[in-house]
Amino acid sequence: MSNLIPTVKRGSDSNNNTGFRTLPSISSWLDDVINNNFGTEFMSNFNTGMTLPSVNVKDSDEEYIVEMAVPGLKKSDFDINIDNKLLSISAELQTDSEEEDDNYTRREFGYSSFKRTFSLPETIETEKISAKYNDGILKVNLPKREEAKKKPLKQIKVS
């Protein structure tokens, strides 16, 4: 028998035939209170910053390729550094707009940023690392040293 007690949002379960009514979880109860009393407009202002971008890391015979989905940025927004075998990719974006109409002035500004770091293996040619940004995808190429590159299969004949 399981020690877990099922929690059901809003405290009801239409399939529960035992008559046992479970309590809602605290997070679902809090979501219900906020959404019912304030609506979704209240919550929409809390998630305006940039989240951590999704990353793909490919390992080919010649290099590692780090692909990061970061649409809406410019090449100049990125800061890519290597420090002590750590690859650091970051970006900052500031927006500032002002609208004036008769007696009303509205000024909105925003700031968002992210930073991702990756430990580099000793087998990377740090002097040859390159980066390109195209169609919202940042691609960082990390070439492998010659001794780390995958060698072709060598067949050994038995004598």
Task: Note the pLDDT tens digit of each residue in 60-110.
Answer: 989 999 999 999 889 999 999 999 889 999 998 777 776 776 666 776 777
- On whether residue 85 sits in a domain, the answer given is yes
Question: Where residue 140 sits, what CATH number does that domain have?
Answer: 2.60.40.790
Q: Domain of 38?
A: 9-44
Domain count for the chain, please give it: 2
Question: Residue 16 forms beta bridges with which residues?
Answer: none
My answer on whether 22 and 80 are in the same domain is no
Asked if 108 and 69 sit in the same domain, the reply is yes
**21: which 2 tokens?**
């009514």
Q: In terms of DSSP H, where are the helices of the chain? A: 26-38, 40-44
Number of H helices, E strands in the chain: 2, 7
pLDDT tens digits, one per residue of 11-70:
444 444 445 455 555 555 555 655 555 544 444 344 445 578 899 999 998 999 999 999
DSSP 8-state class, residue 122: T
